[in-house]
Amino acid sequence: MITFMPDPGLLDSPRRRAWPGLSTGHAGPAGEPPEGTDVVIVGAGPAGLAVASALWHHGVHDIVLLDPAERPCERFFDRIDLLGQRVLRSPYEHHPGVEGYRDCELLDFARLHWSRLTEVERREVRMAQAGHRSVVPVDVFEAYCRHLVSSHHVGERTWRATVQEVLPEPDTVVVRTDRSSVTARFAVLCAGERRRVAPSSWWGGGPPPDGVSYWDEPVPEYANRLVVVGAGLTAAHLVSNALAAGRQVHWVIRGDAERYQCADVNSSFFRPEGRARFDRVDWPDRLELLGRYRRASIMFEFRPLFERAEAGGGLVVHRGRAVAAVSAAGDGTAFVRLADGDLVTGERVVLALGTTPATGGDLLPDAVAGTRDGWPELAGDTLAFRRAPRVLAVGAAAAMVLGPAARNIDGHRVATARVAAAVAEGLRRGAPVAGEKALAVARG
Ligand SMILES: Cc1cc2nc3c(=O)[nH]c(=O)nc-3n(C[C@H](O)[C@H](O)[C@H](O)COP(=O)(O)OP(=O)(O)OC[C@H]3O[C@@H](n4cnc5c(N)ncnc54)[C@H](O)[C@@H]3O)c2cc1C
């Protein structure tokens, strides 16, 4: 059997190119958001941007986006840049633009900016045009998001605020922030995901000991010997950055081996037939499917790099080893104690344990959030909370409806189509559209 190894060079791509005609920053409107609006969107990441853009095409322009960040998608690109990630894992067809409205899609956008692309990037565009797997530069994706922000007037509708409570009333939703309150007819939760914290048994809970940090914090330059815990793409970036900087790396993986695959979920879940597998089964089977298919994995392109580093001794991989405890000596040394008693020592331990979805449970009243096994119960065709039909969710929170791809950019596209249609129709009728009728009505 021939094993094909994609070129590690595909992981590289220039960052911070100038994109003509696109503003680099966004100050947002001055002052407080209006007291009343049609729709509040909580979170202006790729999911919130997708919802705002889709609503714009539905003729819904009276919207307010709330996010503590200064510009839309800031948290997404900050995390990516902190990890030194230069290309997306998802292909060109996964993007927050709106389909079916003659919008400029991500692939069109890349082609329009052909002269700014490198030879390798152009080849990937051709691969995408031919329907093959392709690698998207972060730079292109960010410029495209900025294009969406300006072409759908999202910037002037985004206010800096942290939402603290979302309180559904019979005819409205009151959204309380750290600065003021906004009353809306509908609210869409697009709050993304948070870092997954270590089990309290590792050091007793709370902030990590000195010398131990999480993937979304900077790795100090002094750390010549790094211990990375985790088996996903985030861990892979931490390992490859450290190797590139000439550091010795110990990599602790709970599974028997690292898993290499193109996308982070089985590609069938990005297609209707994959989502149908979810539609057909009950809640316990959905939970089982989510657990089985949302497993940590790494892009193929890393494989030659890691195999070379391991053979050369710069990388030591501790496979099939569960972590029992993490501690620090106070002299600049940090330790990972493995379940079999072995100790892995470094000047820094970085935990890349993945993320957990913001499901709305911390914003909505308990009686409304309806959380079951950590997931909200949402109507399948509208993604509205079953006990609060004026509140809808896009992003990771929709995973029990849309399957594991809900947590990816393409899942936001599918969720957005349902949510935007339901909200637009609800505004037109003056009441939420319940159950199966929502999409049928909205699509005529
Ligand atoms: C490093 C990294 C790389 C990734 N690469 C890919 C990829 O290549 N392809 C892919 O499909 N997926 C990728 N993902 C998965 C990715 O998380 C999602 O696809 C996407 O970022 C999620 O968008 P989002 O808008 O749901 O979340 P986010 O980007 O996290 O945006 C959520 C926003 O909500 C805001 N927010 C949260 N709470 C509140 C509150 N209470 N009040 C107001 N605002 C709030 C946050 O500030 C944030 O701006 C990656 C994830 C990470 C972490």
Count of other CB atoms within 10 angstroms of residue 7: 12
Q: What is the pLDDT of residues 245-267, one digit of tens each?
A: 999 999 999 999 999 988 878 88
Give, using CA atoms, the residue closest to atom 51 of ligand 1: 76
The answer to whether 438 touches 422, Cβ cutoff 8 Å, is yes
Distance 394 CA to ligand 1 centre (A): 11
Superfamily for the 8-194+356-442 domain: FAD/NAD(P)-binding domain (3.50.50.60)
249 CA distance to ligand 1 middle (Å) = 28
C-beta of residue 26 within 8 angstroms of C-beta of residue 148: no
Give the span between the Cα atoms of 290 and 64, in whole angstroms.
Answer: 32
Quote the pLDDT of residue 169.
96
Residue-wise pLDDT for 64-100, tens only, equals 999 999 999 999 999 999 999 999 999 999 999 888 8
Domain spans in the chain, listed from the N-terminal domain onward:
8-194+356-442, 200-261+297-353
Ligand 1 centroid – CA 341 distance (Å): 37
What share of the chain in percent tops pLDDT 90? 80
Whether the predicted pLDDT of 25 surpasses 80? no
Q: Which atom of ligand 1 is nearest to the CA of 72?
A: 49
Confidence of residue 371 (pLDDT cuts 50, 70, 90): confident
pLDDT of 202: 98
66, β-bridge pairs: 42, 159
**Distance from the CA of 75 to the center of ligand 1, in angstroms?**
7
Q: What is the pTM of this model?
A: 0.95
Atom of ligand 1 nearest to the CA of 76: 29
Would you give the distance in Å from CA 292 to the centre of its chain?
19
> For residue 101, what pLDDT is reported?
81
- Amino acid identity for residue 202 in this structure: W
- Among the atoms of ligand 1, which is closest to the Cα of residue 234? 1
- What pLDDT band is residue 365 in, cutting at 50, 70 and 90? very high
pLDDT value, residue 443: 43
- State the distance from the centre of ligand 1 to the C-alpha of 45, rounded, in angstroms: 6
- 106 pLDDT tier (thresholds 50, 70, 90): very high
Instruction: Quick: pLDDT tens for 377-396.
Output: 999 999 999 999 999 999 99
For ligand 1, the distance from its centroid to the CA atom of residue 408, given in whole angstroms, is 9
Please check whether residue 81 is in contact with residue 15, taking contact to mean a CB–CB distance below 8 angstroms.
yes
Domain topology for 200-261+297-353: FAD/NAD(P)-binding domain (3.50.50)
- The string over 240-249, giving b where at least 16 C-beta atoms fall within 10 Å of a residue's C-beta and e elsewhere, is bbbbeeebbb
Tell me: the pLDDT tens digits for 142-187? 999 999 999 999 999 999 999 999 999 999 999 999 999 999 999 9
| pLDDT 10s digits, 118-134 | 999 999 999 999 999 89
Q: What is the pLDDT of residue 438?
A: 45
Calculate the average pLDDT of the chain. 92
pLDDT at 5 over 80: no
The Å distance, Cα 407 to ligand 1 centre, comes to: 9
Cα 211 to ligand 1 centroid, rounded to whole Å: 27
Residues in the chain: 444
Q: What does the pLDDT average to over 399-410? A: 93
Q: Does 200-261+297-353 match 8-194+356-442 at the fold level?
A: yes
Atom of ligand 1 nearest to the CA of 88: 8
- d(CA 182, ligand 1 centre) in Å: 23
**For residue 177, which atom of ligand 1 is closest to its CA?**
42
Sheet containing strand 343-346, edge to edge, reads: 323-328, 334-338, 343-346
Pocket of ligand 1 (CB under 6 A): 42-48, 66-69, 75-76, 79-80, 83, 85, 88-90, 94, 162-163, 190-193, 234, 358, 395, 408-409
pLDDT score of 356 more than 80: yes
Asked if pLDDT for residue 235 goes beyond 90, the answer is: yes
As a whole number of Å, the end-to-end CA separation of the chain is 51
Nearest ligand 1 atom to alpha carbon 362? 41
pLDDT for 419 beyond 70: yes
Task: Determine the distance separating the centroid of ligand 1 and the alpha carbon of 80, expressed in angstroms.
Answer: 10
Q: What is the pLDDT of residues 265-286, one digit of tens each?
A: 888 888 888 888 888 899 999 9
- The residue behind tokens 């539609």 is 279
Q: How far is ligand 1, taken at its centre, from the CA of residue 76, in Å?
A: 5
pLDDT in tens, 307-331: 999 999 999 999 999 999 999 988 8
Residue type, 270: F
d(CA 321, CA 317): 10
The answer, yes or no, to whether residue 214 has pLDDT greater than 70, is yes
Residue nearest to atom 21 of ligand 1 (CA): 76
Ligand 1 atom at minimal distance to the Cα of residue 66: 43
Report the phi/psi class of residue 203: left, alpha or beta, with left for phi > 0 and alpha for psi in -120 to 50: alpha
Give the number of the atom of ligand 1 that is nearest the alpha carbon of residue 141: 8
Q: How many CA atoms lie within 13 A of 119 on its CB side?
A: 1
Q: Could you count the other beta carbons within 10 Å of the beta carbon of residue 317?
A: 18
Question: What residues form DSSP beta bridges with 65?
Answer: 41, 158
Quick one: what percent of the chain has pLDDT higher than 70? 96
Of the residues 42, 76, 159, which should be mutated to test ligand 1's pocket, given the most ligand atoms within 8 Å of the CB?
A: 76
pLDDT in tens, 29-55: 878 999 999 999 999 999 999 999 999
Among 409, 410, 414, 419, the mutation site with the greatest number of ligand 1 atoms within 8 A of its Cβ is 409
pLDDT computed for residue 204 by the predictor:
95
